[in-house]
Structure 1
Amino acid sequence: MHHDAKPRRQYRQVADQILSLIATQGLAPGARLPSERDLAELLSVSRPSLREALIALEVEGRVDIRMGSGIYVGASLLPESGGIGLDSEGPLEILQARAIIESAIAEEAARHVTPALLQRLDDNLHEMGQALDDRGRAIVLDGQFHIAVAGGVGNGVLSNFTAEIYEKRLSPFFVQFSTRFEGPRTWRLALAEHGAIRDAIADGDAPAAREAMRHHLTESQRRFTESFLVEGTLGA
């Protein structure tokens, strides 16, 4: 039986357009590409898809993104071994999936709230508040918060799922993507959003917990798309 090939992800299609542009214009390694704004207009693509495409190509060594300078053709026009893979999940796709699923998990956690769960969340919030300038530690604590919420439901499958999908945040693609936009300011915002989730769960307010989690993960997506890669940076 014939099966249609799986459609390539949007960011990968955009990456192919960028590579085609490089080839068509005969650009050599080190040549400067149009700005992110101009590329988006030239290729008729959204900024989020363009941003994911550029960072995917950066991880593969095909482009070089220099903050405050521009986007340049990379040293290698072929993917290096150990790259992100031809069509792996993009960071924004992962965050969207988490917003849908973890919202339902938070809702259920509010229905099963216990003093032990609240203590775990409170301890996590306190530790994260002390780690806003330590990106590595903040990422670990961020994951532990979400896993703790899932653990509050008392369902091992949900706990394991939350841990596994969060691990995708540690992929080279997601790490490079988030490094470009995260900082103490974004971690402070995430901490406040975690606090709102905790409070809704503590109140046993299932709808509020659901919306607080959805808001948090939707805002995480927005923070990754609200500024340009090289024309400007997020405030620290």
Structure 2
Amino acid sequence: MPIRTVENQRLYRQIADQVTALIEAGEFAHGSRLPSERDLAVQLGVSRPSVREALIALEIEGKVEVRVGAGIFVAAPRPVAVPDPSTEAGPFEHLRARWLIEGEIAAEAAKNAQAEDLVPIRASVQDMQNRVRKELPTEDSDRAFHCGIAKATHNSALVPVVHDLWGRGRGAIWRRMEHHFQTHDLRTATLEDHRAILDMLETADARGARAAMRHHLDRVVREFSRRWDLLKETETGINPALQALAKKRGSQR
């Protein structure tokens, strides 16, 4: 069965379905290593982030497994119940949507926020700092920060937009990405990003707030992409950088 180029609609799901069909047809045998992400992207005529989303979806479904430092392999069939990510937009799609929308929301908040609007935003930054120090999950303080900025615009139509983007973006694929990639360093970087955005809001710098928010979301994409490459793209042996990362993560538990 030859690999076919795919349409752009629901791209990562189409890629996942095509790889599944190739596995079922015996083109990729159980236990075999899949082509590299780069090769799959070229053969399918799609971007590497879309291939990443598809591979993570297939991992959730139990069809492939990530072997640290070796690559992605076709998993042996097993009768397990797995979350169905097929209705989700991909996490990189969500991050791009947030880049477009939340950048402008931050600019509006910088122009319209009153002193009392900044109080809960500061509190969310302080809460995140405490959680990072104690190695606790930061999702609640992260959500409170972004939703607080939406409220500070004084445009009630924007608040449910951020709530919806946040909720839809935290599906099974995102949770798997966090399982692989979330580290103390990444949470610390997010805290620093939030502080930079808050600084722009406090000085009513709309242009700076927009830039700081977009820098924050760009960084998340870059870090997830970089750590995904570290996780699986080593043709021979274990990547030394990955070994160091794994050792660091182990020492933080």
Query: TM-score by structure 2 length?
Result: 0.79
Instruction: Identify, as 1 or 2, the structure richer in helix.
Output: 2
Q: How do residues 110-149 of structure 1 correspond to structure 2 at under 5 angstroms?
A: 110-132=110-132, 137-149=137-149
What is aligned with 2:56? Answer: 55
Using a 3 Å threshold, how does the CA distance of structure 1 residues 135 and 66 change in structure 2: closer, same or farther? farther
Task: Quote the Cα distance in structure 1 between the aligned partners of 2:130 and 2:205.
Answer: 28
Gaps of 5+ in 2: 1-6, 234-238
**Matches of residues 31-46 of structure 1 in structure 2 within 5 Å?**
31-37=32-38, 39-40=40-41, 43=44, 45-46=46-47
Aligned to 1:10: 11
SS in 1 for 2:226: coil
Q: Could you tell me whether the CA contact under 8 Å between 2:111 and 2:204 is conserved in 1?
A: yes
Offset at residue 198 of structure 1 (A) = 0.5
Superposition misfits of 4+ residues, deviation over 3 angstroms: 23-32, 34-46, 75-82, 133-136, 231-236
Cα distance between partner residues in 2 of 1:44 and 1:20: 17
Does residue 215 (structure 1) correspond to residue 188 (structure 2)? The answer is no
Q: Work out the percentage of aligned pairs sharing the same amino acid.
A: 37
Q: Distance in 1 between matches of 2:44 and 2:133?
A: 37
Q: Runs of 5+ in structure 1 lacking a partner? A: 1-5
Report the RMSD for the aligned CA atoms in angstroms.
2.8
1:101 deviates by 0.5
Q: Describe the superposition over 1:99-158 as per-residue Cα deviations: whole angstroms up to 9, x where unpaired.
A: 101111111101122222222222211111122277762122111100011011122221
Tell me the CA shift for residue 34 of structure 1: 3.6
Q: Secondary structure at the match of 1:118?
A: helix
- Any idea what SS the aligned residue of 1:72 has? strand
Deviation string for 1:57-78 (max 9, x for gaps)? 1111211123234322124499
Check 1:76–1:154 CA distance in 2 against 1; reply closer, same or farther (3 A cut): farther
Q: Secondary structure at 1:71's aligned position in 2?
A: strand
CA distance in 1, matches of 2:201, 2:23: 51
Aligned to 2:153: 153
- Tell me, yes or no, if structure 1 residue 230 matches structure 2 residue 220: no
Residues 91 and 174, structure 2, Cα contact 8 Å, conserved in 1: yes
Could you state the TM-score of these two structures normalised by the residue count of structure 1? 0.84
How many aligned positions are there? Answer: 230
